[in-house]
């Protein structure tokens, strides 16, 4: 196993490197703060680098939250609960989380949840419809969809 070298960057070097890091893909403040720590930049120096990245529009939490939520929903078919929990774990503000949730179209959301439920329900081999519905509900809840939406839909399934 290779050991990571202890890199110690100056604040200016860190700003350039962090700018490239943020330009590659949207990042949250916490990810950049962790990267700066890896590069040996802490405290006020790290705070100043973050501030400059925000001023230069490399770093924007609302933009990150919207991109994250949209991507996880469209690509991984995550529900709002799972996306919200993940954003909270990344220390994203409630405001940015609310804005991100607005990016998810309600009709698309319901269609995705129904598609996941249908797919899972019809894949299950169990003969008992109650068992199939419970397993389907558990699966779709695991994807982060709201239990009431899931059960409203599953009650209609035959």
Distance CA 124, CA 133 (A): 10
Residue 3 included in any domain: no
Alpha helix (H) ranges present in the chain? 11-24, 29-38, 43-55, 61-76, 80-89, 94-101, 106-123, 129-142, 147-156
- Please check whether residues 113 and 145 belong to one and the same domain: yes
Q: Which of 46, 65, 44, 49 is nearest to 16 (CA)?
A: 49
Q: What is the pLDDT of residue 152?
A: 96
Task: Please report, rounded to a whole number, the percentage of residues in the chain having pLDDT higher than 70.
Answer: 96
Please say if the pLDDT value at position 3 is more than 90.
Answer: no
- Please check whether residues 117 and 152 belong to one and the same domain: yes
- Please check whether residues 110 and 142 belong to one and the same domain: yes
Residue 2 included in any domain: no
- Please check whether residues 66 and 29 belong to one and the same domain: no
How many domains, the chain?
Answer: 3
Reported as a pLDDT band with limits 50, 70 and 90, residue 80 is: very high
Q: What is the pLDDT of residue 4?
A: 53
Reported as a pLDDT band with limits 50, 70 and 90, residue 8 is: confident
Please say if the pLDDT value at position 2 is more than 50.
Answer: no
- Domain ranges, residue 145: 106-156
Helices 129-142 and 147-156, axial angle in degrees (round to 10): 150
């Amino acid at each position: 196993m290779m050991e990571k070298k202890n890199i110690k960057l100056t604040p200016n070097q860190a700003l350039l490197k962090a700018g490239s890091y943020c330009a590659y893909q949207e990042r949250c403040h916490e990810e950049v703060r962790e990267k700066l720590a890896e590069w040996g930049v802490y405290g006020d120096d790290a705070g100043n680098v973050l501030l400059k990245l925000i001023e230069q529009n490399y770093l924007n939490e609302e933009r990150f939250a919207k991109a994250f939520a949209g991507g996880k929903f469209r690509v991984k078919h995550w529900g709002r609960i799972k996306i919200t929990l993940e954003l909270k774990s990344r220390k994203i503000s409630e405001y940015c989380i609310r804005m991100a949730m607005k990016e998810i179209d309600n009709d698309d959301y319901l269609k995705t949840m129904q598609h996941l439920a249908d797919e899972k329900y019809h894949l299950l081999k169990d003969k008992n419809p109650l068992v199939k519905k419970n397993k389907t509900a558990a699966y779709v809840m695991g994807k982060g969809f709201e239990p009431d939406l899931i059960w409203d839909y599953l009650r209609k399934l035959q």
